Structure formats: structure tokens, C-alpha cells
Structure 1
Amino acid sequence: MTNLKIAVQKSGRLSEDSLTLLKECGISLNVGKDQLIAQASNFQLEVLYLRNSDIPQYVRDGIADIAIIGDNTEKEKKTGIVPVLDLGFSRCRLSIAVPRAVEFKDLSYLQGKKIATSYPNTLKDFLTEHAIEAEIHEISGSVEIAPNIGLSDAICDVVSTGSTLVKNGLKEVYKIFESQAILAANPNLETEKKDILDQLVFRIKAVLASKNSKYILLNTPEKVLDEVCALLPGMKSPTIMPLRQKGWVSVHSVVQENEFWEVIGKLKAVGAEGILIIPIEKMIL
């Protein structure tokens, strides 16, 4: 039986989120302590736990077929693997940061400066794009300490909350790009493995759709039903069911997470009552 091999980060937040996603897709893994390979018991999938920076090349070389990685990693490695799906978690940004005391007005500050980074290729492309000549110091880890020990005038690093910058006396001054976890694949997958990948993508899309939506049930007078339905288009249109009390109906629909509170307020304003919000475990579009 052919298995699809997926590479995930062997430790850290991205690893945890990746394994949680696979679990939510109904995939059970036989995982032991310090295990570097795990076989799914109910899906044609084999998980390889690898160092994050090595994953793109492993996929490009065909050791792994697909991977869950930050797109910032692939942009840096430039291995040519194919993005398949944005996953929406492990969001961060690659940014320029300088000491808090520095008066940074624009990118011209970087001209002739020393910049420390773990992303030398990305930084080089950025500097070239903006016609800036600067000295790049490649550092593996703990980039934030570079200005404090006199190694650099600025840094280029991944920023999530920004708390690490603050702790090291730095401030974020320019965002190069935003990043998130993606599902990526070898561009030369054989047909059988493409079919398995399609099944996995189908499951992932159902999980991601459910995370961004809530199921809503409410009661409303029939006389304002048109106004209520206008606020709740749902996936196609709301489900309407009559209540025992004459002149009232029950409305069932779906609302987007980012519109939730605004919609609830408008529903209350037009006369909706007994509003219930229920999490959606999976949503097949």
C-alpha cells in the first residue's frame, strides 16, 4: 500500500499545531517517545519529524512528499516546492528591528549598516529590491542579542508578539512580509500520491472552514424574517422552521467568526430572540 509521507517540525509550536490539525482531520498516529517516524493507523499517511530548516529540501528531494511549514522558510530556502494550501496558523512576520534609541525614519537608515539575520537570502533580496547596500551577518538563533553585543546595527528576524524584541531593547520598524503555516508538496508527485493528497486537502479544508464559522439558531417574528435572513445568508440560505407559537419561526444558519458580534447585535436590534451559538466541528463546502 502506498503511503503519503508528510514532514512536520519535530518540536515547537508549529509541530503542535500541525499534529493537532491532523488529529482534527480524523487521522490517528502511532507516536512513541522520541519517535522520528509515525504511521497513521486509519489513513495512508506517514509522518516524518524533521528539523524545520531541513524540511523544504527533504520535500524537494522526494524524501518527503508534502510538508507543513512556515512559508517564510520556503521563501528563504527557495527549493521550488509547491504551495498547496494556506493553513492559517503559526502566523508571524519577517521584520527589521533596531535598538529603541535609534531614530528610524525610513529604510535609508540601513544604508552601510550591519544587519544580523537567520534569513540571509530573503534579506539579500529585500536589500537589492530597495537598492540598499548593507553588511549581512548570518546567525543561527538568538538574533535579537546581536545589536546588544555590537555585532550589528539592526536585525531581520521573525516576529510573532514582539515581546522578545522588547526584552532585548529593540523595536520593530519595518515589516518585510507576513507568514503563516502552509501545506506544500513536491512538484513531481506520482498519481497515487496525488490522490491521497487530494483526500487530505479535502479533510483539511473542512476543518479550516469550521474554525472560521459558527452555527446559529434563533427565534424571530415572521414579520421581520426578511430582515433577519438578509443578515444571515449562511452557506446558501438560512433554514426556516415554524414554531408552535403562531407568527414565530426558528432560523438556523452559519455566521463567520470575524463577523460574529456585529451580526448578533444587528439580529437583536431587528427583534431576534433566544439566540444560540454552537461550534462547528467540520464543515463540508
Structure 2
Amino acid sequence: MIKLAVPNKGRLHEPAMQLLAQAGFKPVNTGERKLFASTLDPEIMVLFLRARDIPEFVNTGAADLGVTGYDIIMENNYDVEVLIDLNFGKAKLAVAAPHGKYRSIKDIGEGARVATEFSNLTEKFFASMGKKIEILKVSGATEIAPQIGVAEFIVDLVGTGTTLRMNNLEVLDVVLETSAHLIGNRESIEKNREKIDEVVLAFKSVLKAKKKKLLMMNVPRESLEELKKVMPGMAGPTISEVISDKPMVAVNVVVDEEHVYKMISRVKSIGARDILVIDIERIIE
């Protein structure tokens, strides 16, 4: 049995649950207070934990795999295997100060006070700049610290930047870029390599399919060479014969979602018809 830990709440919870479902590991019999659940795969059990606790559970082997933020992993330098960047929950761990207080991070003086949940990463960052600062470790509402005078600036996660602007703060520098990652216990990976490789492949196939669409269409055979020029696809279009009164071919091609309507306009101009745009659940290379 593989124990996979996911965040029980917060910004990583819903995307993690969606990924599990799309990859074939949807939890069943879940409840608001439930700490673990079986999944559609009888060999996978899901544990619901705080995101910041997940690396510790994976590090000790209490969980075989875990989904958590890269910032949390790096803050405590856990000896875990980082398997995949899951590409959700993206944010920046940034140095921020009251608007206009500093021209740049170089203006922060020795012994300046910083409020942060990420004391280790913050200390390393400023040490790399040759600066010694005073760290006030907090566990939330970091943005208020400069306003109430307990710190000159903060180091905190920044997504859209809305919270910073609401508190009259501006970013001076970026300590770390973060997103959700899949991590694994090193011993568990060796012991259960086949099953864990299966999980990794399932996740990768879902991630690969995101923002991709399958275009299907019928095209006059005489336009085939022109079509190949305007439809790059992943490895060129797949072409097959169509039983029709006119010489036609059926064409399937995978394209980036953002290029779909541009592609449709192009292929229609060379006579394509019966065009279908289809979601892709997984792409396995």
C-alpha cells in the first residue's frame, strides 16, 4: 500500500484533489474531518495533512509520497526525493517593504527586522548578500508587521500581489519561486519503485495534457501539403482516408489550447470542414 499525503486545506488542496481524480487516484469515502481515505486504486491510500507537515511525514516514511509546496521543502531542507513539479500553486517567496521606504534591497541595513514564516530561507538569502538581519518568526498575517512597527519589512509568499498592495507593500526581491511538487521517501521509492513509477507516469500524463486540445477535421486531399505547413502538432498531423464523394482525408492533430482558434481559421481557409475540438485527459510519451 502506497500512502500519498496531500494538503487538507489551503491553496494547494483543491488542485491536488483534481489532479488525483484526473490521474485515476480519486479518494473515496472522504469526509470533512477524515484524515485518510482509500482511492479508486486499491494500492493507493491518501492522507490529508497540513501542507507544511507533509515533508516531515515523507521524510520519516510515515507517508511514501506527498504533495506540498517547494518553499516548504526547501525551508527545512528535508532529505526527500523531489519527483515532479506539478505546476499549480505557483507563487514567489519575496522580500517586501512599505512602498517607497527602500529604493532597493541593498538599502536594507544591518540588524533590520524582518517578519517571516520562512526563517531559514530568509537567513540564507540575506547571508548570501553579506547582510545580518534580525528575524521575527510569525505564523500568519505577516503583512501587518511593518504597519504595527514590529518589523521593517517581510519575507512572504506572493501570488497576485493583491494582499501586498492592500497593505501598501512592494516587492524588493525574490528569494524563491515555488509551486506544488510531488516528493517521495527515498527508501519507499527503492522498495516500491514499480508502483511509484506508475503514479509518477500518471501525474505526468495529466500534466502533459493540460492546455492541449485535439483537433479533428476533414480536409480536401488537394490541400494536404498546405495543411502540413500550418498544422505543426506534437509530431505532425495523423492522416487517414475518408470514404466520400470527393477526395477527402481525416486529420487529427494535437495543438496548444492558446493556438486553437488561430489554427481553426487557418485550416478553414484551405477547405477544412467538420472540425472538432476535443479535450485531452492524458498524454503519455
TM-score norm. by structure 1 comes to 0.90
Are the aligned partners of 2:121 and 2:175 in contact in 1 as well (CA < 8 Å)?
no
Equivalent residue letter for 1:102: K
The reply on whether 1:283 has 2:283 as its aligned counterpart is: yes
- Alignment partner of 1:9 out of 7, 10, 15: 7
> Cα deviation per residue 1:23-78 (whole Å; 9 max; x = unaligned)?
11222423133011212253311211112222111111111111001111101110
SS in 2 for 1:255: strand
Match of 1:212 in 2: 211
Match of 2:250 in 1: 250
SS in 1 for 2:15: helix
In structure 2, stretches of 5+ residues that fail to align are: none
Are the aligned partners of 1:99 and 1:154 in contact in 2 as well (CA < 8 Å)?
yes
Q: Summarize the Cα distance change of 1:270–1:190 in structure 2 as closer, same or farther, 3 Å threshold.
A: closer
Match of 2:181 in 1: 182
Equivalent residue letter for 2:133: A
SS in 1 for 2:114: strand
Residue 191 (structure 1) shift:
4.4
The 10-residue stretch of structure 1 (82-91 or 106-115) with the greater mean CA deviation from structure 2: 106-115
SS in 1 for 2:67: strand
Match of 2:154 in 1: 155
Structure 1 distance, partners of 2:82, 2:144, is 33
Structure 1 distance, partners of 2:66, 2:261, is 35
Q: Summarize the Cα distance change of 1:177–1:225 in structure 2 as closer, same or farther, 3 Å threshold.
A: farther
Q: Summarize the Cα distance change of 1:198–1:118 in structure 2 as closer, same or farther, 3 Å threshold.
A: same
Are the aligned partners of 2:216 and 2:251 in contact in 1 as well (CA < 8 Å)?
yes
Q: Summarize the Cα distance change of 1:129–1:265 in structure 2 as closer, same or farther, 3 Å threshold.
A: farther
Are the aligned partners of 2:116 and 2:136 in contact in 1 as well (CA < 8 Å)?
yes
Equivalent pairs, count: 282
Equivalent residue letter for 1:284: I
Residue 209 (structure 1) shift:
1.7
Q: Summarize the Cα distance change of 1:21–1:225 in structure 2 as closer, same or farther, 3 Å threshold.
A: same
Q: Summarize the Cα distance change of 1:97–1:274 in structure 2 as closer, same or farther, 3 Å threshold.
A: farther
> Cα deviation per residue 1:100-119 (whole Å; 9 max; x = unaligned)?
23242x32122322211111
Structure 1 distance, partners of 2:250, 2:34, is 51
Equivalent residue letter for 2:37: A
SS in 2 for 1:55: helix
Q: CA RMSD in A?
A: 2.1
Match of 1:66 in 2: 65
The 10-residue stretch of structure 1 (230-239 or 82-91) with the greater mean CA deviation from structure 2: 230-239
Match of 1:48 in 2: 47
Match of 1:22 in 2: 20
Match of 1:120 in 2: 119
SS in 1 for 2:195: helix
In structure 1, stretches of 5+ residues that fail to align are: none
- Alignment partner of 2:107 out of 100, 106, 109: 109
Residue 260 (structure 1) shift:
3.8
The 10-residue stretch of structure 1 (135-144 or 172-181) with the greater mean CA deviation from structure 2: 172-181
Q: Summarize the Cα distance change of 1:220–1:85 in structure 2 as closer, same or farther, 3 Å threshold.
A: same
Structure 2 distance, partners of 1:87, 1:259, is 23
The reply on whether 1:225 has 2:216 as its aligned counterpart is: no
> Cα deviation per residue 1:180-225 (whole Å; 9 max; x = unaligned)?
1110001122645222211111211221122131001234343442
TM-score norm. by structure 2 comes to 0.90
Residue 239 (structure 1) shift:
1.7
SS in 1 for 2:186: coil
Structure 1 distance, partners of 2:94, 2:264, is 37
Structure 2 distance, partners of 1:177, 1:267, is 43
Equivalent residue letter for 2:51: N
Percent identity between matched residues is: 33
Are the aligned partners of 1:108 and 1:132 in contact in 2 as well (CA < 8 Å)?
no
Equivalent residue letter for 2:210: K
Residue 176 (structure 1) shift:
2.2
